[in-house]
Amino acid sequence: MDIQQAAIDAYVDRDDSVSERFRAYGAALSFAGGADNAGLVGAIENCLASGCVSDLEAGVAAYQLLGLEPVAALVKRAHAEYVRMRPDGPSQELAEADERFWDELDAHWFAFDVTEQLDLLSSHVQDASEVDE
């Protein structure tokens, strides 16, 4: 099993036998996967609509813990903007300006290339988890 999948599994299973940093890496990967597929704001919408706000919060905390503060700040900002744009949830129509802003937030996410940044951290996270074993 690769380190990314092992970290995601540790996060999902709340595996206390590995380091907090390793579980955080899994949370960051998990959120990034959703955002890479649905766009940042789409991933936030999915978290809110499915009742998985804890995954959103875990992603933000993970980016902070892993030293990716600009990514954490973007996710927090996008979450706040989503709530502003759609206070009544996903069925609410967006104003044209909000649609453009949604696209801008997504473009910022993709410009960060979060998955690549997380891939670069994998050896550091793996080393830390092996120490805890």
pLDDT tens-digit readout, 83-132: 999 998 888 899 999 999 999 999 999 999 999 999 999 988 875 555 44
Q: Can you give the pTM of this predicted structure?
A: 0.91
Which of 34, 7, 12 lies closest to 129 in space, CA to CA?
A: 7
Mean pLDDT of 52-63: 96
**Residue 47: enclosing H or E segment and its boundaries?**
helix 40-49
Q: Are 13 and 29 in contact (CB under 8 A)?
A: no
Q: Is the pLDDT of residue 32 over 70?
A: yes
Q: Is the pLDDT of residue 56 over 80?
A: yes
Q: Are 30 and 55 in contact (CB under 8 A)?
A: yes
Q: What is the rounded distance in angstroms from the CA atom of residue 111 to the CA atom of residue 73?
A: 14
Q: Are 24 and 41 in contact (CB under 8 A)?
A: no
pLDDT at 132: 44
Q: What is the rounded distance in angstroms from the CA atom of residue 53 to the CA atom of residue 49?
A: 9
pLDDT bin (cut points 50, 70, 90) of residue 18 is very high
Q: Are 84 and 75 in contact (CB under 8 A)?
A: no
